[in-house]
């Protein structure tokens, strides 16, 4: 059930097992392999760690007291309301969600993993305490999956304690399974440990250990976990004095339930080891997951990036990407897309710009096309493309609030006895640009776009390919507008987002992230901002969005957009954030018509809308590399055309063809090397060129080419010749169409 897997951040290095060759006798390979795989550590520690007994005795004492208390609770008839409105009868302190499930059907009882009582997560065997609403959730439900993986993390924790005798820290569920962090003295975790951990986990499952729940006061928790300094520190820092929290027991393991946060997030604390795992209710799902892992490994952007020579990393600058020429082509294509942002039907080389109709409302309006905005069919309004500094005095970050809330994630410097920092985001600099002169309401909205270089101080162990880097670029836009313009601007951003994601074939979902604990400003301002975003979401996507409570930025609520790739994995890329705080903190203002009528009127403040569609360009390149598995659509491809001569006499014509196509803005390369024709074609196919154009005597005489399409098996052999002018026109049309199919229009 529990299948630990290695962390993807750093591969585990396992040295080869060496052994003497006695008398030069060659032993069978199979026996040598078995000998090499022999475990060097026992399956379980014997005797077990001393803290097992201490913990269990205290838990059993508390559990007995709780059971006695439950026995004397008054039993009353209760009414249980199911999601379909049907009602069931039960008895308080006796009837459990599992009892209700069994009444409905055995199949349901076998399938469910958790319940919700009056909206609160509730264990299946925990008695109901009164009349209530009841939901029964299986593994396919997001909350059911999360609870299943959280329970699996406890099983992994038990296996780790029994095998290593370690001190556990935290073991939360994640979007892709779960992990456990632990302190192990003088022993690194290696791949060789996984069979033992899986074996002990399997033993625990076969024992059908119950998950037993208790609510325990803070003082008793400190006694229960007195042997474990990590648990003590979590208890002391996370649980207020005089309160309690939940613990669960399974077998000899007792652990806190709510500990899903990094060990104080401080790299100066002890270095812990982390084991990842994933589990499923049945073996069929596990088999499917293993197939998914195989396909994901083939699509790994780090693998494809190396094979296609797109980018690399170097230890002299960890977390910073070196883009090679073909990777730079890809990067620049994305930047150009976001700069122009044209609709497929829009010819930006023409002065005849049209407008787009919003069919959901049946009215024409301004439509955001990234930095290009079309208005009423005649006016082309561009975003203000700006460039702001990379480094600022700490006073700027104190004004913005980042110094108080984000300092640990910034690269700071001492310059002339003052603190400075590399920018982790562009918005404070854009506030300075807005405030560089007086502004009138007639100028608004002002849209500032910047592809600025950003630095964030990610922990070295968290750096992973292009998905987690320290230096990156965002497709950042900040819209400074009047409150009355918010709705129109957000509607336009939704249109643009839908257009851009459609070019890549992405589906997406939306979440409204609301006020976090470390918010700036007043609750009234936050309520107004959240209300504006809810209205915009409901107007564009009625009933198709969710709320993510407490996950907003410290300066304002946001709409997070999650895309799904070809493997059905989810990634959060786009964000639309409404910000009433930065205009206040930077004292931004504009002159409104009312300002001229009353000198006593407070200044009019703009609202800032933060917008990113791709998010980090580096991370987005990782996502689309794996989404397309390195087989790029023509418009995005860094290797669009390869021209190959059949023999030496035709090298000059091949170079001429490549030069002509390059002159049209296409990425055309020529292979005039010494390899044979089949070898050159094979190399082109491996490099994922969209089209290979073969030229020889017939093609030279007729000024034509022979076309091989990467995605059309029927063109792998020689096909009919196509005139050079005609193929050039078709290639340009295909690029401009931004089609996902590698087929001529």
pLDDT of amino acid 715: 61
Catalytic residue among 116, 402, 430, 456: 456
Rounded Cα distance, 170 and 168, in Å: 6
- Span 688-711, pLDDT tens digits: 999 999 999 999 999 999 999 998
Give the residues of the chain that fall short of pLDDT 50. 1-36, 259-265, 342-381
Of the candidates 132, 166, 169, 427, the residue annotated as catalytic is 427
Residues near 657 by Cβ (< 8 Å), separated by ≥ 6?
Answer: 643, 668, 670, 693, 695, 705, 724
From CA 53, how far away is CA 79, in angstroms rounded?
42
For residue 571, the model assigns a pLDDT of 87
Question: Catalytic site residue 84?
Answer: no
The answer to whether residues 246 and 257 touch, using CB atoms and an 8 Å cutoff, is yes
| The 3-state secondary structure of 71-125, one letter per residue | HCCCCCEEEEECCCCCEEEEECCCCCHHHHHHHHCHHHHHHEEEEEECCEEECCC
Active site residue 474: yes
742, 690 Cβ separation under 8 angstroms: yes
| Class in CATH terms, 641-737 | alpha beta
Reduce the secondary structure of 300-341 to three states and give it as a string: CHHHHHHHCCCEECCCCCCCCCEECHHHHHHHHHHHHHHHHC
Superfamily designation of domain 323-628:
Bira Bifunctional Protein; Domain 2 (3.30.930.10)
The pLDDT value given to residue 5: 29
Largest Cα separation within the chain, whole Å, is 104
Catalytic residue among 476, 560, 565, 671: 476
Residue 558 is a catalytic residue: yes
Q: What is the pLDDT of residue 651?
A: 94
Concatenated DSSP letters for 549-570?
TT-SBTTB-EEEEEEE-TT--E
- Of 158, 205, 197, 207, nearest to 56 (Cα)? 158
Residue environment code for 395-418, b if the CB has 16+ CB neighbours within 10 A, otherwise e: ebbebbbbbebbbeebeeeeeeee
Predicted local confidence at residue 197, as pLDDT: 94
Computed on alpha carbons and rounded to an integer, the radius of gyration of the chain in Å comes to 31
Active site annotation includes 75: no
Degrees (nearest 5) of the Cα angle 135, 140, 141?
40
**Bridge partners for 574 per DSSP:** 561
Q: Which entry of 558, 611, 627, 735 is annotated as an active-site residue?
A: 558
Strands (E), 235-308: 244-250, 253-256, 273-279
What is the separation of C-alpha 249 from the centre of its chain, rounded to a whole number of angstroms? 32
Give me the catalytic one of 474, 540, 577, 640: 474
478 in catalytic set: yes
631, 308 contact by CB (below 8 A): no
Enter the pTM of the model. Answer: 0.78
* Residue 395 bears catalytic tag: no
Residue 39 has a CB neighbour count (10 Å cut-off) of 11
340: nearest Cα among 635, 39, 598: 635
- Which residue ranges does the chain devote to CATH 3.30.930.10? 323-628
Which tens digits make up the pLDDT trace of 20-79?
Answer: 333 333 344 444 444 445 567 899 999 999 999 999 999 999 999 999 999 999 999 999
Distances from the Cα of 510 to the Cα of 106, 288, 547, 567, 571, angstroms: 36, 28, 9, 19, 12
- Which of 478, 515, 627, 735 is the catalytic position? 478
Write b or e for each residue in 204-231: b if 16 or more Cβ atoms lie within 10 A of its Cβ, otherwise e: beeeebeebbbebebeebeebbeebebb
Catalytic-labelled residue, pool 145, 150, 499, 610: 610
Backbone angles phi and psi of 145, in degrees to 5: -65, -40
Structure tokens at 538: 């409901």
Where, residue-wise, is CATH 3.40.50.800 in the chain? Answer: 641-737
Q: Mean pLDDT over all residues of the chain?
A: 85
Alpha helices in 418-545 (DSSP H): 427-434, 486-504, 523-540
Q: Which phi-psi region, left, alpha or beta, contains residue 191 (left: φ > 0; alpha: ψ -120 to 50)?
A: alpha
CB 641 within 8 A of CB 731: yes
Active site residue 455: no
Tell me what pLDDT residue 573 has: 86
């Amino acid at each position: 059930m529990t299948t630990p897997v290695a962390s993807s951040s750093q591969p585990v290095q396992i040295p080869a097992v060496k052994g003497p060759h006695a008398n030069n006798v060659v032993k069978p390979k199979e026996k040598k392999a078995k000998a090499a795989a022999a475990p060097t550590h026992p399956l379980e520690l014997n005797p077990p760690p001393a803290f097992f007994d201490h913990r269990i005795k205290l838990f059993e004492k508390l559990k007995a007291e709780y059971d006695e208390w439950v026995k004397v609770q008054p039993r009353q008839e209760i009414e249980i309301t199911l999601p379909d409105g049907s009602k069931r009868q039960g008895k308080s302190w006796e009837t459990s969600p599992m009892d209700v499930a069994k009444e409905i059907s055995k199949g349901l009882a076998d399938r469910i993993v958790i319940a919700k009582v009056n909206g609160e997560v509730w264990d299946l065997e925990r008695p109901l305490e009164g009349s209530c609403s009841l939901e029964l959730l299986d593994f396919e439900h997001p909350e059911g999956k999360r609870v299943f993986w959280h329970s699996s993390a406890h099983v992994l924790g038990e296996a780790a304690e029994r095998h290593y005798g370690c001190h556990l820290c935290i073991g939360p569920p994640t979007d892709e399974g779960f992990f456990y962090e632990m302190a192990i003295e003088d022993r690194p975790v290696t791949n060789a440990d996984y069979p033992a951990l899986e074996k002990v986990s399997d033993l625990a499952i076969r024992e059908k250990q119950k998950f037993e729940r208790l609510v325990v006061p803070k003082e008793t928790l400190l006694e229960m976990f007195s042997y474990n300094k990590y648990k003590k520190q979590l208890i002391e820092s996370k649980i207020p004095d005089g309160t309690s929290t939940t613990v669960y027991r399974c077998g000899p393991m007792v652990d806190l339930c709510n500990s899903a946060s990094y060990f104080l997030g401080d790299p100066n604390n002890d270095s812990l080891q982390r084991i990842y795992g994933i589990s499923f209710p049945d073996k069929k799902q596990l088999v499917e997951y293993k197939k998914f892992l195989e396909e994901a490994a083939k699509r790994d952007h780090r693998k494809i990036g190396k094979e296609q020579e797109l980018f690399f990393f170097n230890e002299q600058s960890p977390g910073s990407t070196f883009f090679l020429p073909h990777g730079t082509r890809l990067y620049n294509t994305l930047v150009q897309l976001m700069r122009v942002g044209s609709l497929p039907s829009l010819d930006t080389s023409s002065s005849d710009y049209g407008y787009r109709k919003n069919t959901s409302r049946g009215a024409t309006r301004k439509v955001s096309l990234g930095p290009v905005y079309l208005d009423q069919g005649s006016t082309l309004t561009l975003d203000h493309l700006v460039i702001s500094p990379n480094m600022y005095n700490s006073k700027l970050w104190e004004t913005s609030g980042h110094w108080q809330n984000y300092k640990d994630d910034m690269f700071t410097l001492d310059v002339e006895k003052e603190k400075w920092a590399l920018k982790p985001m562009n918005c404070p600099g854009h506030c300075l640009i807005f405030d560089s002169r007086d502004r009138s309401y007639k100028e608004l909205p002002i849209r500032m776009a910047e592809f600025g270089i950003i630095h964030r101080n990610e922990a070295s162990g968290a750096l992973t390919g292009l998905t987690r880097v320290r230096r990156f670029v965002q497709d950042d836009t900040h819209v400074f507008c009047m409150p009355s313009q918010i709705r129109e601007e957000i509607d336009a951003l939704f249109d643009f987002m839908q257009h851009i994601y459609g070019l890549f074939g992405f589906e997406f979902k939306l979440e409204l992230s609301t006020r976090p604990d470390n918010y700036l400003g007043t609750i009234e301002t936050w309520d107004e901002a959240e209300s504006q975003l809810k209205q915009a979401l409901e107007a564009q996507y009625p009933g198709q969005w969710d709320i993510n409570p407490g996950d907003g930025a410290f300066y304002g609520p946001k709409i997070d957009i999650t895309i799904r790739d070809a493997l059905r994995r989810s990634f959060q890329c786009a964000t639309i954030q409404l910000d009433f705080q930065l205009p206040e903190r930077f004292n931004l203002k504009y002159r409104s018509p009312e300002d001229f009528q009353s000198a006593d009127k407070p200044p009019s403040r703009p609202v800032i809308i933060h917008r990113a569609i791709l998010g980090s360009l580096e991370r987005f390149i990782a996502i689309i590399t794996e989404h397309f598995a390195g087989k790029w659509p023509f418009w995005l491809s860094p290797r669009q055309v390869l021209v190959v001569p059949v023999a030496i006499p035709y090298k000059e014509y091949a170079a001429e063809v490549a030069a002509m196509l390059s002159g049209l803005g296409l990425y055309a390369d020529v292979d005039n090397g010494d390899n044979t024709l089949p070898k050159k074609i094979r190399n082109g196919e491996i490099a994922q060129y969209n089209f290979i154009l073969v030229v020889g005597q017939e093609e030279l005489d007729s000024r034509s080419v022979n076309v091989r399409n990467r995605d059309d098996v029927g063109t792998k052999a020689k096909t009919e010749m196509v005139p050079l002018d005609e193929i050039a026109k078709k290639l340009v049309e295909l690029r401009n169409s931004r089609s996902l199919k590698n087929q001529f229009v």
